[in-house]
C-alpha cells in the first residue's frame, strides 16, 4: 500500500552500499525508513538532519527487528523541521548579540599546563581524548568534569560542569563535547543555556561534538571548534616528540657554541701566556741591570776622583812655582772646598743609587712568585709536571708535587672534591 508521510528527517546514514537509512518523526512518534540506491539516485539535493521532508512509499515489516518501516520510492523537501527551525532561530539570535565574533574569542595556550574535559565519564569521547593526550603529551595533567551529554538533564548538567571547572581554577583550556549521534542526541549542545555558559567561560574552550559533519551552536560560541574529540586533543596538545627533537637541536647548538667559546678562550690564554715573562727571568734581568749601574757608578766615582786629583796636582805645581803664601792658602782652601763638594756629591749620588736599588728590589719582591709562596701558597704540579689549576684536573691515586716557600713535597691524591658554582 502506497502512503504519503511528512515529518522531520533524523538519524540519516549513507553506507557504502549507496542505500539511505533514516527516521521520519514529528513531536509524538517516528518511523524508520529505507530508500534504496535505485530510488535515491533520482534525488538531486542530498537531504540533511533536521530537514522537513515528504515521502511516498510502502509500509513493510522488517522481520529482523520486528518493527514496521517505509520503503521510500520518492522524497521531496517540505520545509524546515521544528528542531532545525529552533537551531536557526537561536543561531541568528546569538550571532546578533556578537557571541560568534572572532574578536571576542580567547587564544588557546601554546603549551597548556592543565587540561579540563567536560563530557561523559563512560563515553567514547573521553577515551579518545585520553588516548591522544597520552601519546602526545603524557606529562600534562587532565581533569574530567563528568556530565550527562544526552537527555533532558544534560543541559543543566553541562552548565554545572563548566561552572565547576571555572571554580576549580586549575585548567587553562577546556574541551567540551561528546561522540557522534543523531540530531536529538546532540541537541543539548544546541541549547541556549549551554551556549551562553561556553561563551561566558573564563577558560579558553574547544567544542568537540560528534563527527565532522555535525555542527552545533556550541561550535560557534566556543573559542575553537574541533570536528571530533580526538581532533580537539590533537589541536590543544604539544607533540612531545617534536619538543624533544627541538630540545636536542638546541642542546647540540649550545654544545657547539660552548666548544667554540672554550677554543677561543684557550687560544687567548695561549697568547697571553706567551707574552707573560717568567718572573725569575725578570728578576735576573733586574739584578743584572743593578750590577751594571753599580759598575758605572764606581767607574764614574773613580774618574771624578782622578780628575780632582789631577787638578789638585796641577794646582800644587802652580803653587810651587808661584810661592806666595796667600795664593797657596787660597788654593788650599779651594781644594778643600772642591774636595768636600766632591765627597758630598759622591755620597749623595751613592745614596740615590742605593735607594733606587732598594726600591727596585722591593718591587721585584712584590711580583716574585717566591713572595707569594712565602705567604702560605703552594704551586701544585701533576705527575707530568703540569701546573694544576682545578681539582677537576686530578683523579684519585694520581701523584702530585707541591712547592712551598721553603722546600717541596710529593703526595698522592686520595679524594677529589669538585666545587660547583
- The cell numbers describing 199, all together, are 561563551
The most confident of the ranges 12-21, 35-44, 193-202, 395-404 is 193-202
What is the mean predicted confidence (pLDDT) over 271-282?
A: 73
Whether 20 has a pLDDT exceeding 90, the answer reads: yes
Quick: pLDDT tens for 230-261. Answer: 999 999 998 877 777 878 888 888 888 888 88
Q: 232: which residues sit within 8 A by CB, 6+ positions away?
A: 129, 175, 177, 206, 207, 208, 224, 226
Whether 376 has a pLDDT exceeding 90, the answer reads: no
Quick: pLDDT tens for 30-60. Answer: 899 999 999 998 887 788 888 888 888 999 9
Give percent of the chain with pLDDT exceeding 90.
38
What is the mean predicted confidence (pLDDT) over 385-397?
A: 87
Confidence of residue 127 (pLDDT cuts 50, 70, 90): very high
Say which residue, 228 or 326, is predicted with more confidence: 228
What is the mean predicted confidence (pLDDT) over 219-228?
A: 95
Say which residue, 116 or 327, is predicted with more confidence: 116
298-336 burial, b at 16+ Cβ within 10 Å, e below that, comes to eeeeeeeeeebeeebeebeeebeeeeeeeebeebeeebe
Confidence of residue 126 (pLDDT cuts 50, 70, 90): very high
Q: Which of 108, 142, 112, 100 lies closest to 125, judged by CA? A: 142
| Longest pairwise C-alpha distance within the chain | 181
**Inter-residue contact 16 to 3 (CB < 8 Å):** no
Query: Boundaries of CATH 3.40.50.261 in the chain?
Result: 83-241
Q: 178: which residues sit within 8 A by CB, 6+ positions away?
A: 119, 120, 123, 125, 149, 150, 186, 189, 208, 209, 210, 229
Give the number of other Cβ atoms within 10 Å of residue 216's Cβ: 24
3-class DSSP assignment, residue 300: helix
What is the mean predicted confidence (pLDDT) over 223-233?
A: 94
Classified by CATH at the fold level, domain 2-78 comes out as: OB fold (Dihydrolipoamide Acetyltransferase, E2P) (2.40.50)
**Inter-residue contact 416 to 391 (CB < 8 Å):** yes
User: Residue 87, class by beta-carbon neighbours within 10 Å (0-12 exposed, 13-18 middle, 19+ buried)?
Assistant: buried
**Inter-residue contact 172 to 204 (CB < 8 Å):** yes
What's residue 98's pLDDT?
94
Mean pLDDT of the chain: 87
Q: Which of 211, 231, 237 lies closest to 108, judged by CA? A: 237
**Inter-residue contact 175 to 218 (CB < 8 Å):** no
Which one of 3.40.50.1370, 3.20.20.140, 3.90.1150.10, 3.40.50.261 gives the CATH number of domain 83-241? 3.40.50.261
What is the mean predicted confidence (pLDDT) over 338-366?
A: 85
Q: 345: which residues sit within 8 A by CB, 6+ positions away?
A: 304
DSSP 54-79: EEEEEEEEETTTTEEEEEEEEEEEEE
Task: Enter the DSSP assignment of 105.
Answer: P
User: Residue 81, class by beta-carbon neighbours within 10 Å (0-12 exposed, 13-18 middle, 19+ buried)?
Assistant: buried
Quick: pLDDT tens for 140-199. Answer: 999 999 999 998 899 999 999 999 999 999 999 999 999 988 778 899 999 999 999 999
Query: Boundaries of CATH 2.40.50.140 in the chain?
Result: 2-78
| Cα(239)–Cα(401) distance, integer angstroms | 56
What's residue 421's pLDDT?
46
Confidence of residue 319 (pLDDT cuts 50, 70, 90): low
Radius of gyration of the chain measured on its C-alpha atoms: 52
Amino acid at each position: 500500500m502506497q502512503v504519503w508521510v511528512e515529518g522531520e528527517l533524523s538519524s540519516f546514514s549513507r553506507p557504502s552500499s549507496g542505500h539511505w537509512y533514516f527516521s521520519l518523526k514529528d513531536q509524538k512518534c517516528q518511523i524508520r525508513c529505507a530508500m534504496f540506491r535505485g530510488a535515491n539516485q533520482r534525488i538531486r539535493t542530498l537531504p540533511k538532519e533536521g530537514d522537513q521532508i515528504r515521502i511516498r512509499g510502502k509500509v513493510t515489516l522488517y522481520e529482523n527487528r520486528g518493527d514496521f518501516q517505509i520503503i521510500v520510492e520518492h522524497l521531496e523537501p517540505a520545509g524546515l523541521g521544528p528542531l532545525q527551525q529552533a537551531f536557526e532561530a537561536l543561531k541568528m539570535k546569538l550571532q546578533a548579540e556578537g557571541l560568534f565574533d572572532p574578536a571576542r574569542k580567547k587564544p588557546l595556550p601554546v603549551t597548556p599546563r592543565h587540561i579540563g574535559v567536560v563530557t561523559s565519564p563512560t563515553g567514547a569521547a573521553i577515551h579518545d581524548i585520553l588516548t591522544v593526550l597520552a601519546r602526545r603529551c603524557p606529562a600534562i595533567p587532565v581533569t574530567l568534569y563528568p556530565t550527562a551529554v544526552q537527555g533532558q538533564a544534560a543541559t543543566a548538567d553541562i552548565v554545572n560542569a563548566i561552572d565547576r571547572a571555572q571554580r576549580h581554577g586549575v585548567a587553562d583550556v577546556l574541551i567540551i563535547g561528546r561522540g557522534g549521534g543523531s540530531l536529538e542526541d546532540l541537541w543539548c549542545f544546541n541549547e541556549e543555556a549551554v551556549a551562553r555558559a561556553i561563551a561566558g567561560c573564563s577558560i579558553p574552550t574547544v567544542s568537540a561534538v560528534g563527527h565532522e559533519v555535525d555542527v552545533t551552536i556550541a561550535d560557534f560560541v566556543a573559542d575553537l571548534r574541533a570536528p571530533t574529540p580526538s581532533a580537539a586533543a590533537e589541536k590543544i596538545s604539544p607533540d612531545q616528540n617534536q619538543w624533544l627533537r627541538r630540545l636536542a637541536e638546541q642542546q647540540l647548538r649550545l654544545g657547539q657554541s660552548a666548544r667554540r667559546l672554550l677554543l677561543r678562550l684557550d687560544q687567548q690564554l695561549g697568547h697571553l701566556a706567551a707574552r707573560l715573562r717568567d718572573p725569575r727571568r725578570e728578576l735576573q734581568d733586574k739584578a743584572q741591570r743593578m750590577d751594571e749601574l753599580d759598575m758605572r757608578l764606581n767607574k764614574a766615582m773613580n774618574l771624578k776622583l782622578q780628575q780632582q786629583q789631577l787638578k789638585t796636582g796641577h794646582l800644587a805645581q802652580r803653587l810651587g812655582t808661584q810661592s806666595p803664601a796667600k795664593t797657596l792658602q787660597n788654593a788650599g782652601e779651594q781644594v778643600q772646598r772642591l774636595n768636600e763638594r766632591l765627597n758630598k756629591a759622591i755620597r749623595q749620588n751613592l745614596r740615590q743609587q742605593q735607594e733606587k736599588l732598594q726600591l727596585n728590589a722591593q718591587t721585584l719582591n712584590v711580583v716574585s712568585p717566591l713572595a707569594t709562596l712565602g705567604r702560605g701558597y703552594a704551586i701544585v704540579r701533576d705527575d707530568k709536571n703540569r701546573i694544576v689549576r682545578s681539582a677537576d684536573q686530578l683523579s684519585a691515586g694520581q701523584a702530585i708535587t707541591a712547592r712551598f716557600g721553603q722546600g717541596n713535597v710529593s703526595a698522592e691524591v686520595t679524594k677529589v672534591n669538585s666545587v660547583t658554582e
